[in-house]
Amino acid sequence: MLATILILGVSGQVKRGMHRDYIQREEALAGLRGQIRVADTIKQQTLPQGKLVCVYDEFSPNSPHNQVLKSVMLLLLRRREVKPENKQKLRKLLLSYFSEITEIAPRAIRWDALKYHRNNASYQMLIGICSLVVDDSLQTTEAGENKLTKWLPDEKMHQLYERFVRAYYERHHPEFSPRKKQIAWNLTNGASDEGLPKMETDITLRFGEKTLIIDTKWYSKTMQTRYEGGNLKYIPHNLYQIFTYVKNEDKDCTGNAAGVLLYAKTDENVTPDADFNIGGNRISLKTLDLNQEWDTIESQLEKLCELLTG
């Protein structure tokens, strides 16, 4: 999964343009560039060759952030867990865009020295993925299993899962304008929303007059047990949340807004899979199984589009 996310993220980044930074270089040149290092020129005896040792700044894509990306992509190529089709995509990215980038030892990466600003903010998630790969946390003592929840808190996994789903639609369905969106409360009589909580969707898709709100959920348990009889029930506050989002989005009560609670599949025997029409709006509970071949994962995500276009 991490390899897939990194491929999607790096592919998007190279389309936007790789980050460049001023890199200090020192070399013997026939002409003058930057500052002359007199002591080094004498020491290296470059004058008889008609050269001066100069130090100068070069605006180059060989920045620390790109060096991290290249090093981790090469590391993934050596990992047997990475699928052959993903390795092929990684090789293509490396050959096409990272030939000028220097490889560094993954264990020597200084993560705290990587700074972010307006021009390279889009690298922050990519570097986060790289950090997870380098930590080697995918390895477990149990043969053949990758247990992400053992080493990453649920909150972080939820953020990763949310970004993965949103990135999929950004890449494959830009016509739906995938994005986070703040929904205003449908207040009447000029009432103020002061004190009311903000409503921000994980993913909002639009198609014509229709809107689909996707709220991603990463839990170790996707169902809730009611002790009266031990029956499994949907988690109530999740339903309240998506219903509130949908009804405030559909201010004119047209029925054109729908909502999906998209859970990541766990090892539970029963996981959410239901569709309801509540007050004229469709509310769905679906489960995305990430422990599948990519074609199957893609098919599950594509099926959600039918809720918008159907």
One-letter amino acid for residue 245 of the chain: Y
Residues near 192 by beta carbon (within 8 Å), at least 6 away in sequence = none
- More confident of the two residues 111 and 245: 245
pLDDT of residue 44: 80
Residue 267 has pLDDT above 90, yes or no: no
Kindly list the domain boundaries of the chain, sorted by start residue: 2-20+61-138, 26-60, 154-309
- pLDDT confidence of residue 153: 58
Least confident range from 70-79, 154-163, 189-198, 207-216: namely 154-163
pLDDT band at 137 (very low <50, low <70, confident <90, very high): very low
Tens of pLDDT, residues 28-67: 877 777 677 878 778 887 888 888 788 867 778 888 899 9
Could you tell me the pLDDT band of residue 139, with boundaries at 50, 70 and 90? very low
- pLDDT score of 141 more than 60: no
Give pTM, 2 decimals: 0.58
pLDDT at 152 over 60: no
The stretch 253-262 carries a mean pLDDT of 94
Which CATH number applies to 154-309?
3.40.1350
Lowest mean pLDDT among 117-121, 230-234, 261-265: 230-234
The average pLDDT across 14-33 equals 79
30 burial via Cβ count (<10 Å: 0-12, 13-18, 19+): exposed
The per-residue pLDDT for 73 is 93
Which amino acid makes up residue 38?
A: V
Output the average pLDDT for the chain: 84
Give the per-residue pLDDT at 144.
43
Q: Note the pLDDT tens digit of each residue in 199-230.
A: 999 999 999 999 999 999 988 777 765 545 55
In terms of pLDDT, which residue wins out, 287 or 31? 287
